[in-house]
Structures are given as structure tokens and as C-alpha cells.
Amino acid sequence: MTNDQNGTLSQPTQHIALRKAAVGVAVLIGLHLPASTLAQSKIDAQRPNVVIILADNLGYGELGVYGGGILRGAPTPRIDKLASEGLRLLNFNVEAQCSPSRSALMTGRFSIRSGTYAVPVGGQADGMTLWEVTIAELLQKQGYATGMWGKWHLGSAEARLPTGQGFDEWYGIPRTYDEVLWTAQNETQGLWPSLGDRQGWNPNIAAAEPIFEARAGAKPRQVATLTLDARRTMEANITSHAVDFIKRNAADGKPFFAYVSSSMVHMPVLPNPEFAGKTGNGDWADCLAEMDYRAGQILDAIKDAGVEDNTVVIFASDNGPEATNPWQGDSGPWRGTYFTATEGSLRAPFIVRWPGRIPAGRVSNEIVHIVDMLPTLAHVGGAPVPNDRPIDGVDQLDFFEGKQEQSNREGFPAYVADRLSAVKWRNWKMHFIWQENMYDAPITLAEPKVINLLTDLKEERDVAVKVGWVAMPMMKILTDWEASLKKYPPIKMGTPDPYKP
């Protein structure tokens, strides 16, 4: 097989029907860049450290530098300062759900390729096959220490946990935080009506979410259960594990990859007792304040360890805002929530800092996608990108470093689960399926709806009749994708290991 970086994503069963009306995105072109030679103390001098802080369902409009902060009840000074020290993207795009975005981050592949295109329903086989190659595995082979803390959501079977996918150590939960609501269903002291112990949650039927500690090569050890009290202290525990990892490896002079999978601000949005009531503006604002403080603790650990100048720090979100009452988030100037193909779902905060390499204070509206992280960070760490499978991500290092003003990506397809719902190309968007809120029914449009994203941030005005020319560069992508799909059939959701294409 060869590395197909021209492939953009489409729904296999729906694509033929949509093709005549659909519009694709511009061809995604890979960029080959020289490996970094930045000095590191003691050992592995060419290898900079990489720290990713991935917020959970943090909408575009929450952080101060994205128009939120005090407007949402709490300033975010540490994250805002981080933005002033690096590059802030206004058009960083993710997939529509948690598992798809996290899979795309780890593999550089759109999630429909790897059978991770939707959050699994309880009882389903879940996660990535072990055939997938993660960024952790790539960096681990280059001598990096690799650690992850927080929600994984890419496989709950023991073999598919993070320590089976390239991470040396992990603390966190295999699935997701809303499962904590199960344990509160029989609560009689709360505001919500109890379901009763006869029809409410029963741990003998569906076990409570475990909290694990794990090391590569050893059996994961359950250290707690995700109760409401544990949910409130999760962010503090994630942060303390990450800080310890950074200090240990910096002291040893070993390059490290730290994936901090933040629990904020996934529903239920519950602050640590130390932050409850701190802002006076409710749980959401208290959690925003806590998230900023925890990010600051990680940034302080990097600085105190003496590796700040040789560490790439990324702060981003995996999805658009929460849609469930009473924990709704904010999408800023955009429309919609996650689990849709609206801009409120697709655009997420993204900040990257690398002192001396990435210019400080730069802001860009160029398109970048979460799949681009694997090839970009692989180059940062001197790792080769897999060439035996299609990689959808493109290397963005030259763009990040300011060597060019344009991103190496002009667009991408937007999937909601396995439904090709929209396509973005430059500042244009075409919807095939319309859905504004995750709880709305998706409606297949009789004709595609075309939006000018510079003049219509709320995606209200269809201009398809006026701008039919935009179909030309997009249609080529659909043709290229059909060829890619035929050559590289996607992995079906629930496929067991061992898998070989």
C-alpha cells in the first residue's frame, strides 16, 4: 500500500447518492519538512517535548481570547497568556463527536476510516483496532516517554486501553464522564426525581465506570469508581499525574509526549470543592476557572523543569459545546452544537506555543484539522509517518512556524457519525444534511445548501445559485475519495482484533 494523503472522507453507503449534488474539498497535500534539531539537555538533543492539553467539549466561545472568559463568568488568564506566546487559530476544526475527534488526533486518519466514527452505545464493541498506529507509538519508537491522563474513549477492552496503543503510563477512564449520572439515579436528596432501586441503575446489569492506573506491559489496576465525588476531583488528579510525569522525565533528560485529556467541561459540569462557589457565577464558571488554573499548573511544571524553550505546547478542544440542559456550552459567533456539522460543532479553540520556533502573538483564520496533528508532531519528533495506509492529515509545521502564511489544507469533509453532512473549502461551506442541535433530527436536503462563511457566520443564507463555480474544485475531491475508498475500504465499527486490511 501507499500513503494516500489525497483522500478526504465520505460516507460509503451514502456517497453515490449524494455525489451528483455534493461538493468536495480541495486536495489535501502532504508537506515534507526537515526534522527538528533543537537542543535538549543530557539525552536525545534533537527531540523537543510535546504536551497536548485537550479540553472536553469546550466550545469556541468559552475562553477569554475567543470572546468568552468574563462574559462566561470567569476570566481565563493562563490560557489567554499562552495564546499571546504562540499561534492562535480561528479555524481549527474537529470531528463532530468525542471518539471520532480523539481517534483522528491519535491516528491522523478521519474516523470513518478506522471504524470510530461515533460514540459507541453501551454493549457495543468499541475502540480502534490495534492495527492503527498512534502518535504515541510513533514518538515512543523515537525514544520518547509517553503518558496520558484522563478520558480515553477509544476502546474499553484491556488490550485497547492507552497502554496498549503506545502510552507508557495512563490514569483515567476508558469511556466517558456522563456515565457518572448512572450512580446518581437513585439519589433521593437531589433536585431530580429518583428512578427507584427497582427500575434505576443496577451495577449488576451495567457496572459503574472504573478509574484505572496502568503501565505498559502490566495489567491495568482499578483505583476508584467514577462517582459524583470522584468526578469533582478528576481534573486535579489528571493534572497531578501529568505534572509528576513532566518533572520526572525532564529531570532524567528524556524527551516526553504528555497527552493531558482534560475532563473540563464535559457534562456533568462539576467543579472541584476547592473551586465550588469561587466565581459566584455557578458551576460552569467555577469549572472554567478550574480548567484555567489546571492548565497553569502544567505550564508552570514545564517552566520549573527548565524545558519551556524546548517544549511544544498545544491547548485545544475535541468538540464544539455541550448541548444538554443544564450544561449547555457556548459556540461564540458560530451556530450549533457538537454532533452536527455546523461551524459551532466543527470549529474549536486551538493554541500552539514553541518558543523561538513559533512566532508569538500570531492569529490565523487558515483551515487546520485535528488529523493534521499526527504528521506535524511526527516531524517535530523525527518520526516517519506510516506509509502502508491512507493518512488524511497534512504536515503544518511550516505554517505554524510562520514560514508561510497559508495552511497546507484548503478544506475537509464533515461527517456526523457515518453521514456525510457537509464540506468546507476555503471560506465556503456546503451542507448536504442540515442539523443545528445534537437532539434535532438530521434532514437530508433536496439541494445542497452553500454558505459564505465570511459573510454569514450563522449559516442562515443559501447562496448556491450564485456561486455554482465552487463545485469545480470540490468535485475532484469526491472523485479522488471514491478511488481512495475503493483502494482502502474503511474498517467497520466493532471490528475485533487482530485486524489486517
Q: Does the annotation count 153 as an active-site position?
A: yes
Closest among 282, 391, 345 to 5, alpha carbons compared: 391
| Consecutive H or E run containing 369 | strand 368-369
Which of these is catalytic: 15, 153, 266, 287?
Answer: 153
Beta strands 210-215 and 221-225 are antiparallel
| Consecutive H or E run containing 301 | helix 283-304
- How far does Cα 128 stand from its chain's mean position? 15
How many secondary structure helices (H) and strands (E) does the chain include? 11, 15
Question: Between the CA of residue 157 and those of 76, 152, 173, 278, 447, what are the distances in Å?
Answer: 37, 12, 12, 39, 43
Closest among 362, 309, 294 to 85, alpha carbons compared: 362
DSSP string, 63-89: SGGGT-GGGGTS--HHHHHHHHTSEEE
Rounded to whole angstroms, the maximal C-alpha distance in the chain is 64
> Using an 8 Å Cβ cutoff, are 24 and 422 in contact?
no
**DSSP 8-state secondary structure symbol assigned to residue 178:** G
CA distance 244 to 313: 17
Q: What are phi and psi of 375, to 5 degrees?
A: -65, -35
Interacting residues of 224 by C-beta distance below 8 A, sequence separation 6+ = 210, 211, 230
> Using an 8 Å Cβ cutoff, are 394 and 373 in contact?
no
| Consecutive H or E run containing 147 | strand 145-150
Q: Does the annotation count 98 as an active-site position?
A: yes
Q: What are phi and psi of 258, to 5 degrees?
A: -115, 120
DSSP strands (E only) in 398-498: 411-416, 419-425, 428-434, 443-452
Q: Which long-range contacts (CB under 8 A, 24 or more apart) does 480-487 make?
A: 480/6, 480/7, 480/8, 480/24, 480/27, 481/7, 481/8, 481/9, 481/10, 481/15, 481/24, 481/413, 482/10, 482/15, 482/19, 484/4, 484/6, 484/7, 484/390, 485/7, 485/10, 485/12, 485/15, 487/4
End-to-end CA distance of the chain: 10
Which of these is catalytic: 15, 98, 266, 287?
Answer: 98
Active-site positions? 98, 153
